[in-house]
Chain A
Amino acid sequence: MKVGFYPGCSMKGGAREYQESVSALAKVFDIELVEIPDWNCCGATAAHNLNKELSLSLPARIMALAEREGISDIVVPCAACYNRLSIVKHELEADKSLSTRVASIIDLKYEGTTQILNIIQFIDKYITDRLEEKVVKPFDYKAACYYGCLLVRPHSILKFDRVEDPQSMDVLVKKAGGDAIDWAYKTECCGAGMSVSRTDTVARLSGNIMKDAVDRAAEVVVVACPMCHSNLDMRRPEINKFLNEKIDIPILYISQVLGLAVGLDAKTLGLNRHMTEVNLPVKPVREIPVAKEPKKVVNTQKLEA
């Protein structure tokens, strides 16, 4: 099974562990991720603030390249890239003349036939069915699933399950053996790109998120966006300073959570790369209810940092 893969900048830099964990997870499920050759920047926040055509052309080129390779599905783990690609696909679909114009700019044929999948849609389409049978180490933690904004909005285009109270990541965590808690900050702003320019704002916004998660006894926050991850993880000292507390729960990507559940080791999943140490408590083993042959019982859940 081959699926196109668009890494974007963060997978190659700050969020290398995200790519590592997605690749490792795909491998477990015999999915070959084909990186789109000669891919370019999605334009991120900058392009659509500066130049409309540029902001359309950059993602269009990525999709056109994928089309040229005969790729029908592209998984875009970064929520920001996913957002840009999806919105551009939508805009070009709605306006054929714009689509023609963009095709002439990028000098490639653009049909709009590729499907853009975020990490959750990717997992749902290719992995979910086989997930439970592969779980060997249930991820037995109270997890707060944090969706952020770029994955779910605008609802009219992205059609994420329930815009105000999304569920699909919670479902995945539950399937991995976890306890997805009900909490209030699933889609609140983390501060996003203010990370550098207004660290204080990020500390406050991300701080509120972390506070609610911890107050509700979450042992881990699960994310699907490198930006959310960096704010909640890398800005932890600032967050703790703002809250005047010491919050030390880790932030994991959904791909890492599932990776752990299917028995991948911490190094493969890049857990060592997080700023906040991933130090999940060892839990007593829970019997896995399996119908067919009993799986090997693993006694300790040892995480290598």
Chain B
Amino acid sequence: MSRIGVFVCHCGENISATVNCEKVAKITGELKGVEFSTDYKYMCSDPGQTLLKEAIKEHKLDGVVVAACSPRMHEPTFRKACAEAGLNPFLCEMSNIREHCSWVHPKDDLTTEKAQDLVRVMVEKVKKNKALNSIKVPVTKTALVIGGGIAGIQAALDIANCGHKVIMVEKQPSIGGHMSQLSETFPTLDCSQCILTPRMVEVAQHPNITLHTYSEVEVVDGFIGNFKVKIRKKSKSLDEHLCTGCGLCTTKCPQKKIPNEFERGLGFRPAIYVPFPQAVPNKPVIDRENCTYYIKGKCKVCEIVCPTKAIRFDQEDEIVEVAVGAIVLATGFDVLQPDFFPEYGYGKYKDVIDGLQFERLASASGPTQGQIRRPSDGKEPKKIVFVACAGSRDPAKGIEYCSKICCMYTAKHAMLYKHKVHDGTPYVFYMDIRAGGKMYEEFVRRTIVEDGTHYVRGRVSTIYEKNGKLIVRGADTLMGGIPIEIEADMVVLATAGVANKGAEELAQTVHVSYDSYKFFAEAHPKLKPVETNTAGIFLAGACQAPKDIPESVAAASGAAVKVAALFSNDELTRDPLVALVNRQPAPVFSTCVGCFLCQSVCPYQAIEREEIKNRNGEVIKTLARVNEGLCQGCGTCVALCRTKAIDIHGYSNQQVYTEIMALLND
């Protein structure tokens, strides 16, 4: 027999003005199993809570119903009070007789009757409540950062500086990402390498950071605080401990004509190479696809010249398994591929290049040592056209979003061009100039006013070559849409920023969701911008959406704080209102039949497979199991389960069934 206490709150006059609280307390006090009932002016006040606590002790209550405001308001208050009085907090329920009753109905008997009904429902529900304990999950205080661009670097350093271990995985032979390819950065025009490389070195030297370059994440298992990750370290064909990074091998390699990815095809590199001079780690890798030895079976020039005998042709990929408590995704973005723009001749005409290629041309360490030269004949372009929104904001091309960074870098390109080619004429075709940001609008103004860049508002319809010139045809919509043709020497397309190659596969590997453009999805667009729907996995930088450097860094620091907060306790405490699959004595084990139709409804991948084995270790049954660390308690699986093998604490089948019965049968 239950001993339930009912506490009806007047909320000053907020409730009692339309509900007869004394009557509610009296009538509900007569319900079966109610041991004590009372009404009080302000239940949430200190005396009100004291009243509650003392009643629990005095009447040895085993369940409490507070009829007051919305549980969304004061449920935590009263559950805490119960806990302080020694009653399990999950044996306390609230009836919402203010927002759902007194405030929305007039003063009459029906309103009081409704309040009684609402209390009765909770009295019956609380009889089915179970004492629950918070779920404790241990936390491995090591973070995995996937991606070594500026976002990954920032996140790794911030976490490491909080005193936690960080494992960084980078796909390329060096960290640095796209930022290391940039020439100068808007709006201050400081040199990208100059501000980035100290950070890269800091990562390499930080005692808390372990760096795996030329590596990829293959498998992620587990859940918040307890991930198990397999990392494939691709073979560099090199003993990194022996290599001193002298670079002799890279100068002697007979293969010299491989398009250099770092220069975006504007330069060449050998088969054994360091991607760029400031690379971290500054040790070469052998590109096996292009290495003469791996193709033809002989060469080995690098091995011969290596002073420390560090070359290892037979080195194999290595799989490293690590345990981490949190993951930061910072895998960045990519730009559109050439075949996207047949009308712009990108990929067809050598002098139609993309923004990243222009960055390399403008970079002092680039293929032209910072001189603006056109790729076809090396001449200095005297007339140059920049096309903003090349692909972006174009529903016909399937990219409806704004790539956000192009307005600014295009203004920067025009400015850099003008600084380097004084007698040159830059044109910018644009749709809108989106220069929201500190000093951004001023920067664009400078490009237009001081550097005399011709901004033409309109889209380019086509670009074609004629007599050695690139004819750029568009319309000037501010001049009444008149057609405009420019005979340019070079064209730079501000190609749309798109999700990185392999983003979809990675999202599936780490179990995070992604949007229709394959950018990783945040848990809430406003209030949880660096969290994902998978607890313990966070986002930093342009893997989420196109972002500029300051935004990427801010997001990275945000993600790092989330990781640090997670790591601030040895154990994670979670609300126990989670789903569970029932257990029964052998040989049934559970009424779950293992159809796993519930698996795909779970937004959190919390439903796992559990194999029941006999003494010989043979699997005799495979059951679903809810991982308490991942379950967020939505209960969609509960409603789906045909055998009612899954139930959920707090909203159990027994509880909701009883609520309906109580509500409709007075």
Q: Write the residues of chain A forming the contact surface with B, with a CB cutoff of 8 angstroms.
A: 155-156, 162-165, 182-184, 212, 215
Docked pose: A156 CA to B395 CA in angstroms: 10
Closest 9 CB pairs of A and B: A164-B343, A184-B464, A165-B342, A165-B343, A162-B342, A155-B396, A164-B342, A164-B462, A184-B462
What's the least CB distance linking B343 to chain A, in Å?
A: 3
Docked pose: A86 CA to B352 CA in angstroms: 36
CB-based nearest B residue for A162 = B342
Given contacts A155-B396, A162-B342, A164-B343, contact A184 B471 (CB under 8 A): yes
- Check if A183 sits within 8 Å of B464, measured CB to CB: yes
What's the least CB distance linking A164 to chain B, in Å?
A: 3
B466 CB contact (under 8 Å) in A155, A156, A165, A215: A215
Pairs across A and B, CB under 8 Å, 15 listed: A155-B396, A156-B396, A162-B342, A163-B396, A164-B343, A164-B461, A164-B462, A165-B342, A165-B343, A165-B462, A184-B462, A184-B464, A184-B471, A184-B473, A215-B466
On chain B, which size bracket covers the interface? 10 to 19
Contact with A along B334-346 (1 / 0, CB 8 A): 0000000011000
Assuming A155-B396, A165-B343, what are 5 further A-B pairs, CB within 8 angstroms? A163-B396, A164-B461, A165-B462, A212-B466, A215-B466
Query: In the complex, which residues of chain A have a beta carbon less than 8 angstroms from the beta carbon of B462?
Result: 164-165, 184
What's the least CB distance linking A143 to chain B, in Å?
A: 17
Query: In the complex, which residues of chain B have a beta carbon less than 8 angstroms from the beta carbon of A182?
Result: 348
Give residues of chain B (447-502) contacting chain A, Cβ–Cβ below 8 Å.
461-462, 464, 466, 471, 473
Docked pose: A62 CA to B396 CA in angstroms: 30
Query: In the complex, which residues of chain A have a beta carbon less than 8 angstroms from the beta carbon of B471?
Result: 184
Query: In the complex, which residues of chain B have a beta carbon less than 8 angstroms from the beta carbon of A156?
Result: 396
Docked pose: A183 CA to B465 CA in angstroms: 8
What's the least CB distance linking B309 to chain A, in Å?
A: 53
User: Chain A at the B interface: mostly helix, strand, loop or mixed?
Assistant: loop
CB-based nearest A residue for B342 = A165
Docked pose: A165 CA to B473 CA in angstroms: 14
User: Chain B at the A interface: mostly helix, strand, loop or mixed?
Assistant: strand
Docked pose: A239 CA to B396 CA in angstroms: 34
Query: In the complex, which residues of chain B have a beta carbon less than 8 angstroms from the beta carbon of A215?
Result: 466
Query: In the complex, which residues of chain A have a beta carbon less than 8 angstroms from the beta carbon of B464?
Result: 183-184
Query: In the complex, which residues of chain A have a beta carbon less than 8 angstroms from the beta carbon of B396?
Result: 155-156, 163
What's the least CB distance linking A243 to chain B, in Å?
A: 16
CB-based nearest B residue for A155 = B396
Query: In the complex, which residues of chain A have a beta carbon less than 8 angstroms from the beta carbon of B348?
Result: 182
**Most A CB within 10 A of own CB, among B348, B461, B462, B473:** B462
Docked pose: A215 CA to B469 CA in angstroms: 14
What's the least CB distance linking B485 to chain A, in Å?
A: 10
Query: In the complex, which residues of chain B have a beta carbon less than 8 angstroms from the beta carbon of A184?
Result: 462, 464, 466, 471, 473
Docked pose: A165 CA to B461 CA in angstroms: 10
Query: In the complex, which residues of chain A have a beta carbon less than 8 angstroms from the beta carbon of B466?
Result: 184, 212, 215
What's the least CB distance linking A190 to chain B, in Å?
A: 15
CB-based nearest B residue for A187 = B462
CB-based nearest A residue for B344 = A164
What's the least CB distance linking B466 to chain A, in Å?
A: 7
Give residues of chain B (424-467) contacting chain A, Cβ–Cβ below 8 Å.
461-462, 464, 466
Docked pose: A50 CA to B348 CA in angstroms: 44
Docked pose: A140 CA to B343 CA in angstroms: 27
What's the least CB distance linking A105 to chain B, in Å?
A: 33
Query: In the complex, which residues of chain B have a beta carbon less than 8 angstroms from the beta carbon of A163?
Result: 396
Docked pose: A27 CA to B493 CA in angstroms: 48
Docked pose: A164 CA to B460 CA in angstroms: 11
Docked pose: A156 CA to B398 CA in angstroms: 11
Docked pose: A162 CA to B396 CA in angstroms: 11
CB-based nearest A residue for B464 = A184
What's the least CB distance linking A179 to chain B, in Å?
A: 17
Docked pose: A155 CA to B396 CA in angstroms: 8
CB-based nearest B residue for A156 = B396
Docked pose: A137 CA to B462 CA in angstroms: 35
Docked pose: A44 CA to B348 CA in angstroms: 38
CB-based nearest A residue for B396 = A155
Docked pose: A165 CA to B466 CA in angstroms: 16
Query: In the complex, which residues of chain B have a beta carbon less than 8 angstroms from the beta carbon of A212?
Result: 466
What's the least CB distance linking B34 to chain A, in Å?
A: 60
CB-based nearest B residue for A216 = B466
Docked pose: A65 CA to B342 CA in angstroms: 40
What's the least CB distance linking B97 to chain A, in Å?
A: 49
